[in-house]
């Protein structure tokens, strides 16, 4: 005999009395137990293989406002058929609809359903359309379902196959509306049937002083507690897994001596593009590659004073950088246009413009960026970049490659790293970082390089600066084996809860 507590025995016997299958609500109503007591009992019975629990899908059907009119008056095609004599006849379609008391908007509806159901024949004659009815048809499944539903709610899955097909037709006609509900069903097992108690002994969970004085404590049954029984899962509050990853990256960079840089999401083109020696007619500055603000459309460049003039001269003729520049007339009006930050390198510019800049120095930023890219498994219109610069007189390309290798292996967990020559207007040489992880494949992370003198000298920086801008969303994808970048920002609570805390 299975040892059951009072509430468990009561739920098991109630389940048996209800035919071996019931919902938790039915068990509550029949047994008189509270919902929490029923839930605990069902959980214990399932762990002892005395019952099973499944989730049943119920599609509830109700008539719409138009459907309720059809319940009362009948379907439009039935009303029109009713204006014909018992042995049938022929009438102009519009006249038949009018005689039925329906508006002209019902003419195509009636014509379609009369022909589809075979209740009548619709044909054009000259300028008019006529409908002929041989005899009044018997009621069909659509009408039987409307009669059955009335003003009530029916469950689609409980209908006969014929009425289910009728329901599909009426749903398409907007005469019915559906609502899907999930319902838990508890079902007794064969072992549970054999364990149904014939008598339920009342239990007590604590002793009172009165029980002890009267001696009743010797006759009552004390409730036993199974400390190994399963309990409902608890979902504690915790950081989003991607937010934890970002915090981990920040800690690593701070531990390496980097200082964090922050800045606004909305930048003037001067900071986002011009200071990076990107010409004002560059294709990457077109409307399909940047988000431009409508209001306000521009800002003042006064706070950067003579730096604006130095950047302008660098674009026009190279200024003092040894470059020939881009050879066009620089527009300060274009430089003042406001855009959503398109890359984290804008924050590297702000770091070099800061009065607190230190040389040698190391700076980083985790920046939210915006580009109107087509959405796919590796691209979003809103994404994050980890951006960094190191300023030091002794820097070279080998130092940059070492930093990139560290990122790929320690942050993304890559097994192999490779570098591909690339081009950016603001770095020379330029390198693209690609990494490989067993079972995941190769993934491109982003670009890097050494800032050109046309970038650093107008900003007052006289030493080499290595810089990188990597898609940190993609670093996280590789580290967690995620195939689609959209999964990172999903609202799927089950996926979020199943992510490891560490």
User: What is the distance of C-alpha 335 from the center of its chain?
Assistant: 37
Determine phi and psi for 179, rounding to 5 degrees: -145, 125
| Percent of the chain that is helix, strand, coil (3-state, to 5) | 40, 25, 35
If DSSP codes are grouped into helix, strand and coil, which group holds residue 428? strand
* Chain segment 307-361, per-residue pLDDT in tens: 999 999 999 999 999 899 999 999 999 999 999 999 999 999 999 999 999 999 9
- Give yes or no: residues 127 and 164 share one domain: yes
Pair type for strands 416-424 and 441-451: unpaired
Q: Give DSSP secondary structure letters for 119-182.
A: S-EEEEETTEEEEEESSPPPP-HHHHHHHHHTTS-EEGGGS-HHHHHHHHHHHHTTSEEEEEEE
In a domain, 408, yes or no: yes
If DSSP codes are grouped into helix, strand and coil, which group holds residue 451? strand
* Chain segment 151-162, per-residue pLDDT in tens: 788 888 889 999
- Give yes or no: residues 69 and 129 share one domain: yes
- Give yes or no: residues 151 and 185 share one domain: no
How would residue 201 be classed by pLDDT, with cut points 50, 70 and 90? low
In a domain, 55, yes or no: yes
| Structural domain for 145, as ranges | 63-172
- Give yes or no: residues 147 and 43 share one domain: no
Percent of the chain surpassing pLDDT 90: 33
- Give yes or no: residues 438 and 486 share one domain: yes
Sheet strands side by side (includes 259-260): 259-260, 361-370, 382-391, 465-471, 441-451, 427-437, 416-424
pLDDT the model gives residue 8: 84
**Higher pLDDT residue, 273 or 407?**
273
Q: CA angle 105-111-112, nearest 5°?
A: 100
CB-based contact 389:352 (threshold 8 Å): yes
Q: Which residues contact 339 (CB under 8 A, 6 or more apart)?
A: 266, 267, 268, 269, 272, 290, 291, 292, 293
CB-based contact 415:436 (threshold 8 Å): yes
- Give yes or no: residues 361 and 413 share one domain: yes
Alpha-carbon span 285 to 281, nearest angstrom? 7
Residue with token string 């604590």: 206
Q: Give DSSP secondary structure letters for 471-485.
A: EHHHHHHHHHT-S-G
* Number of domains within the chain: 3
Among 7-21, 64-78, 218-232, the least confident range: 218-232
Q: Give DSSP secondary structure letters for 353-377.
A: H-TT--SSEEEEEEEEEE--PPPBT
- Give yes or no: residues 457 and 379 share one domain: yes
Indicate yes or no: pTM above 0.75. Answer: no
Q: Which residues contact 384 (CB under 8 A, 6 or more apart)?
A: 246, 366, 367, 368, 369, 471, 472, 473
* Chain segment 230-273, per-residue pLDDT in tens: 777 777 778 888 888 899 889 988 988 899 999 999 999 999 99
pLDDT at 107 over 60: yes
Q: What is the CATH number of the domain that holds 119?
A: 1.10.10.10
- Give yes or no: residues 435 and 487 share one domain: yes
* Chain segment 10-31, per-residue pLDDT in tens: 888 898 889 888 888 889 998 8
- Give yes or no: residues 133 and 222 share one domain: no
How would residue 488 be classed by pLDDT, with cut points 50, 70 and 90? confident
Q: Is-cis flag, bond preceding 296, omega within 30?
A: yes
- Give yes or no: residues 348 and 255 share one domain: yes
Where among 172, 197, 212 does a domain terminate?
172
């Amino acid at each position: 005999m299975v040892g059951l507590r009072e509430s468990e025995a009561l739920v098991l016997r109630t389940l048996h009395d209800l035919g071996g299958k019931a919902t938790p609500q039915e068990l509550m109503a029949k047994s008189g137990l509270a919902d929490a007591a029923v839930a605990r009992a069902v959980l214990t019975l399932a762990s002892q293989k005395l019952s099973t629990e499944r989730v049943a899908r119920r599609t509830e059907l109700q008539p719409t406002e138009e459907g309720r009119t059809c319940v009362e008056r009948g379907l439009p095609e039935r009303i029109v058929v009713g204006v014909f004599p018992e042995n049938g006849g022929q009438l102009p379609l519009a006249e038949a609809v009018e005689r039925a008391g329906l508006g002209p908007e019902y003419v195509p509806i009636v014509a379609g359903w009369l022909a589809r159901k075979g209740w009548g024949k619709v044909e054009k004659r000259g300028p008019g359309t006529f409908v002929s009815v041989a005899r009044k048809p018997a009621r069909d499944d659509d009408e039987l379902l409307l009669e059955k539903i009335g003003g009530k709610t029916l469950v689609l899955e409980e209908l006969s196959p014929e009425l289910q097909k009728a329901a599909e037709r009426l749903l398409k006609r907007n005469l019915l509306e559906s609502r899907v509900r999930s319902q838990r069903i508890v079902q007794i097992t064969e072992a549970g049937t054999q364990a149904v108690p014939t008598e339920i002994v009342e239990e007590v969970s604590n002793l009172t002083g009165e029980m002890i004085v009267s001696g009743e404590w010797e006759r009552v049954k004390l409730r036993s507690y199974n400390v190994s029984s399963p309990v409902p899962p608890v979902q504690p509050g915790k950081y989003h897994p991607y937010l934890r990853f970002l915090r981990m990256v920040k800690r690593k960079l701070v531990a390496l001596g980097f200082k964090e840089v922050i800045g606004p999401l909305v930048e003037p083109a001067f900071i986002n593009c011009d200071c990076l020696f990107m010409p004002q007619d560059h294709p990457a500055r077109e409307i399909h590659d940047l988000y431009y603000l409508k209001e306000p459309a521009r800002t003042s460049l006064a706070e950067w004073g003579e730096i604006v003039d130095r950047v302008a001269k660098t674009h026009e003729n190279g200024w003092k950088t040894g470059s020939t520049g881009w050879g066009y007339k620089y527009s300060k009006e274009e430089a003042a246009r406001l855009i959503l930050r398109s890359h984290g390198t804008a924050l590297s510019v702000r770091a070099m413009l800061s009065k607190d800049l230190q040389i040698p120095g190391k700076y980083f930023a985790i920046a939210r960026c915006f580009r109107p890219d087509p959405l796919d498994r590796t691209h979003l219109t809103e994404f994050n970049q980890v951006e960094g610069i190191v300023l030091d007189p002794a820097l070279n390309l080998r130092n940059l490659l070492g930093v990139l290798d560290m990122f790929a292996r320690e942050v993304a967990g890559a097994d192999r790293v490779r570098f591909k020559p690339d081009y950016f207007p603001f770095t020379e040489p330029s390198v693209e970082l690609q990494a490989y992880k067993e079972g995941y494949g190769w993934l491109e992370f982003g670009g890097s390089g050494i800032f050109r003198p046309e970038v650093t000298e107008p900003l007052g920086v006289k030493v080499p600066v290595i810089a990188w801008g990597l898609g940190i969303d993609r670093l996280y994808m590789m580290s967690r084996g995620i195939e689609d970048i959209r999964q990172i920002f999903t609202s799927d609570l089950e996926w979020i809860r199943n992510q490891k805390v560490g």
